[in-house]
Amino acid sequence: MKPTFREKIRYRFERFLSKGGSSIFKSLLIVFLSAYALIAGIRLLLISIFPSLNYTGSAFKDMWLTFLQMTATGNMNQDTESPAMLKIMTILAGLVGVVLLSMLIAFITTSLNKMLYEFRKGRGRVIESEHTLILGWNERIVDIIRELIIANESESSASVVILSDEDKETMDDIITKRLPNNKTTRIVTTQGDYANINELKRVNIEEAKSIIVMANCSESAPEAEKIGSDVQTLKSVLAIVSLISSQEEEIPIIAEVFTEAKRELISYFNYDNVISLDSWEIMGKLLIQTSLTSGLEMVYNEMLSFDGGEVYFHEAKWGGVNFYDLVYMFKDGIPMGIYNDKDGLILRPDKDRKMSNDDQIVIFAEDDSTIKLEKEKFITPVTRELSDKKLEQTQRRILIVGWHRVANIYIDEANDYLLEGSQIDILFNNPPDILKNRVVELKEEYEGFNIELHNTNTLHKEELEAVDPFSYDNIIILSQQMEEMDADKIDSDTLVILLILRKLKESSPESASKIITQVLNSENQDIILQTNVDDFIISNKLITMILAQLSEEPLIKVLYDDLFSEDGSEIYVKPADLYFTSFPQTLRFADIIDLAHQRDEICLGYRKGALSQNADLNFGVKLNPSKNFEITIEESDFLVVLSEDEL
């Protein structure tokens, strides 16, 4: 059936209005002007027909009066002396004007509110360039920004742009509260769908320096939420790659992904610079290494942070120099290994390895600006007698207080580090069936370990004391609840358990048990430190350090893969009596490096045992001191070394 004329007009009018606010404004303006022309025209027509009505003596004045009456009803009193017939036109002008102007004012008010709302949401185009782009929002984002602020201190102007579906005002409030000093870094927040191509264009993704895609839920969230987060991340990475894959210079993309299947899908993208991370897998590997070596957490805390020494990939014209002579040719920095396209990463290369100009070195230094290769050795070490002592690996007793997915990874990694017959006891208050079943699976999978689950309320001193916690080599405190909880609630339970353990420690002062805690909110670090814990893991903080460093140097991923696995080289904090035949000894750090070389190790620093409880002095850990620096080594001290094993 053919549309009627009225239907056609209505349809076209609807299409016109659907174009947006400008169409509505134009329509109201046209209606107002048309009404004004009609009312003013009728008034002039009446005056021309009845000359006695012409009390103003001017057609222009009549038109002006009509306009004033339509725009402000108070102007109707200017027609008080007019004839009765014109008063009718005055009333009509006032009434029509009130209706139309009210509509115009309402529209303008609504449009202004909408515009201000859009400003609050940060919906405008972002014009930053060479910025770090963070997509998504979770509890770790403030720590990532904090690390990036430190990394950008050497730049006069840097920026971090955050695109998230979180409310902009909420993001700004949290960042302002927790990061009052941004130094040289601008923080720009904007709300939007970070898997939408148009939204990514709006934040100028083509000119970003690096991109971090955050998970939109915590690791302790239900499985369905984690899968949903991974799907969102997958869509986001796909949209990013479609926008930047044609660019000459590849932009590094670092994505948090929970499930192995989704990480594998991301690897299918035709883009080499995408790194997908399972953050908690890294944490599990760090946990086992930290539990084996006292003080290692402080070492990683400095190495992974931009505050202090950092790891760099450095290239130069090496001139065929031996790798192990390089350390004496850098006034700042300790070479850890070699990287090239052919061989990949080689930590602690063979002693006769000569450098070629295709090689880069992996070097731990204060800053990239201080890395300078001297033409020859600026210091020659004094060779000393090396102790022939070796550590003996023994069975260990591990106490896990609480449960978290990281414990699965810890036990899996422990299979490569601990001797058969080691004991792993798990304490949990009223353990649910899912945990009971998981422990049964672990016992079947790792028959070489004695794994037991105990129903214990660890928040009660008597029940915790009954298990004799300080008879264990390591006490690992994890979340006390299986379901998702607020990070501060988990940390508060951790603090209660720590306080109980410290009280129990008074009756076992000779115990060498090492306490390692899972701390989710990095702001609780100072509170945890007050418990005099020797070793602790601030999980979220270490994860954010890794994400931030990867965004600055994606190549560092190959180093993490090597360090955080049992194969190859790892970092250890070893007792000084493995190196020295007598104590005390005063020598330069260059001489200590030479001693470590005799054990096929690379020394990165030392730890003073007498300062192991001093938080202000980094628990006695000092990395990358000057090679001329003289140190008095006591029997209670340790060396921080890159080594094949802990022996």
Bridge-based pairing state of the strands 310-315 and 334-340: unpaired
When divided into structural domains, the chain yields a total of 4
CB contact at 8 A, 541 and 143: yes
Q: What is the pLDDT of residues 436-488, one digit of tens each?
A: 999 999 999 999 999 999 999 999 999 999 999 999 998 998 888 777 666 77
Residue 95 inside a domain? The answer is: yes
Say yes or no: 71 and 165 in one domain: no
CB contact at 8 A, 184 and 157: yes
Tell me how far apart the alpha carbons of residues 64 and 62 are, in angstroms, rounded to a whole number: 5
Say yes or no: 31 and 91 in one domain: yes
pLDDT along the chain (647 residues), means of 10: 71 60 73 84 82 79 82 75 78 82 78 69 80 90 88 86 90 89 90 91 92 84 83 91 83 88 80 79 80 82 83 91 94 94 91 92 90 92 89 88 86 86 93 92 92 92 91 88 71 84 82 80 63 57 82 86 81 92 93 94 93 81 93 93 86
Say yes or no: 590 and 527 in one domain: no
Of 277, 293, 320, the one marking the end of a domain is 277
Residue 572 inside a domain? The answer is: yes
Say yes or no: 342 and 430 in one domain: no
- Longest pairwise C-alpha distance within the chain: 127
Residues spanned by the domain of 440: 397-537
Q: Give 250's DSSP letter.
A: P
CB contact at 8 A, 470 and 511: yes
Give the domain CATH number at 495: 3.40.50.720
Say yes or no: 553 and 633 in one domain: yes
Say yes or no: 290 and 271 in one domain: no
Of 86, 121, 156, the one marking the end of a domain is 121
Count other C-beta atoms under 10 Å from residue 69's C-beta: 26
Residue 639 inside a domain? The answer is: yes
pLDDT at 116: 67
Of 93, 121, 149, the one marking the end of a domain is 121
Residue 392 inside a domain? The answer is: no
Tell me how far apart the alpha carbons of residues 505 and 493 are, in angstroms, rounded to a whole number: 18
Residue 11 inside a domain? The answer is: yes
Say yes or no: 342 and 468 in one domain: no
Tell me how far apart the alpha carbons of residues 297 and 358 are, in angstroms, rounded to a whole number: 34
Say yes or no: 266 and 351 in one domain: no
pLDDT at 164: 92
DSSP symbols for 42-95: HHHHHHHH-GGG--SS-HHHHHHHHHHHHH-GGGGGGGTTS-HHHHHHHHHHHH
Task: Enumerate residues 6+ apart whose C-beta is below 8 A from 199.
Answer: 163, 192, 193
Residue 542 inside a domain? The answer is: no
386-391: list long-range contacts, CB under 8 Å, 24+ apart.
386/579, 386/581, 386/595, 386/598, 386/599, 387/577, 387/578, 387/579, 387/580, 387/581, 389/577, 389/578, 390/578, 390/647, 391/574, 391/575, 391/578, 391/646, 391/647
CB contact at 8 A, 302 and 320: no
Say yes or no: 152 and 117 in one domain: no
Q: What is the pLDDT of residues 586-603, one digit of tens each?
A: 999 999 999 999 999 999
Count other C-beta atoms under 10 Å from residue 92's C-beta: 18
Residue 633: Cβ-neighbour burial (10 angstroms; 0-12, 13-18, 19+):
buried
Say yes or no: 74 and 205 in one domain: no
